Each structure stands twice: as C-alpha cells, then as structure tokens.
C-alpha cells in the first residue's frame, strides 16, 4: 500500500460519501468532516464536548493536545447543518445525557480505536489506495489550507502547532505559492 500521509480533496469526498452509507451515517459523516475541517488529532476528536460548540455563534473551541495552542474556529455552514442534524439524532442515543459529542453504540465517548476502525473501513469502501488513519485527515487539512493560499503562520495557528517546523511541510510542497514570482517575460 501507498505510504502517503494525507488524503486528497477527491479522497476526502469519497470518504464522506462512504460514511453516508454506513450504519450510523449522520454521526460518522459529521465526525469525519469535523476531523478534516478542524485538523483534529483523533484524541481531540474523542474528547470534544457539547460545551466546546456554540451553534448560535457558529464556533467551536478547539482544545489541542500535545501542548498545542487552543483556538476558536468558525463552523462552516455545511458543517453546522450536519452538526445540528447529529445533535438532534444524538438525543435518541444511549448516553445522550453525557457531555461527549460523538457517542459510541454503548453511550460513552467514541474511543481512538473505534475511530481508527471506522476510518479504515470507510477508506476501504471508498477504494482509497492507502492504509487510512484519522491523522491523515489532520494532514489533509494542513495541505488543503496551503492549497487555498493560507500562509504558514495561519496554518500553524489553525492546527495549534507551537513549533512552526511542524507546519512548513504543508506550505513547502505547494507549488501554487510560486505562481507570479516571475512577472512578465524574462
């Protein structure tokens, strides 16, 4: 299998589509989408609480692990709609009185192992030719931000990196940053 450490835009879309055909489509699509959009580490995703989100303000408080910087991100419109749908469905789940956003079948917080298993399963269903892990969604977030023209400092803050050396891999591989360096004809 390919050793690539991130997913492409097309692969993210295929992964989301595969999750819509799973046993718990709303929860799983919401979880994958949020993991990608906010660049969550799997443990950060597992520890998300209802109190971390303000649906009214359209924001999420991101509590980074590994000594990362805490930030507040806006929620995208599509993400907000999906999150509202999940939280409504979640009310019918065992454990809905707990503060965890993403619940397992048994009503507790999703575990790292459960999320790894889901991501791998959806990756296989989507015919993605790499051995998937949730961390690949974090890397895909960094590369997607660089592809959209975000500078290294913004990506550093967004992903909560204290050391910019952990961030430069996203922008250094983006060839679009060189467009316009040679203005006119040489």
Residues designated as active site: 41, 66, 135, 138, 161, 170
Q: From CA 26, how far away is CA 131, in angstroms rounded?
A: 24
Q: Which 3 state secondary structure label does DSSP give 100?
A: strand
Three-state DSSP class for residue 92 = coil
DSSP for residue 55: T
- Side-chain half-sphere CA neighbours of 12 within 13 A: 23
Q: How far apart are the first and last CA of the chain?
A: 43
């Amino acid at each position: 299998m390919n050793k690539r450490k991130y997913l492409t835009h097309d692969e993210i879309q295929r992964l989301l589509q595969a999750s819509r055909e799973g046993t718990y489509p709303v929860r799983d699509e919401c979880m994958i989408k949020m993991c990608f959009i906010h660049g969550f580490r799997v443990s950060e995703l597992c520890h998300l609480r209802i109190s971390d989100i303000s649906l009214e303000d359209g924001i999420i408080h991101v509590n980074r692990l590994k000594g990362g910087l805490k930030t507040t991100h806006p929620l995208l419109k599509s993400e907000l709609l999906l999150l509202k749908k999940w939280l409504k469905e979640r009310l019918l789940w065992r454990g809905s009185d707990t503060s965890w956003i993403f619940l397992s079948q048994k009503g507790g917080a999703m575990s790292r192992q459960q999320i790894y298993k889901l991501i791998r399963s959806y990756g296989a269903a989507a015919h993605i030719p790499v051995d998937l892990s949730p961390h690949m969604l974090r890397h895909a977030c960094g590369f997607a931000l660089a592809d959209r023209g975000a500078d290294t400092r913004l990506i550093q803050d967004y992903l909560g990196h204290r050391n910019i050396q952990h961030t430069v891999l996203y922008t250094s591989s983006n060839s679009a940053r060189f467009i316009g360096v040679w203005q006119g004809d040489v």
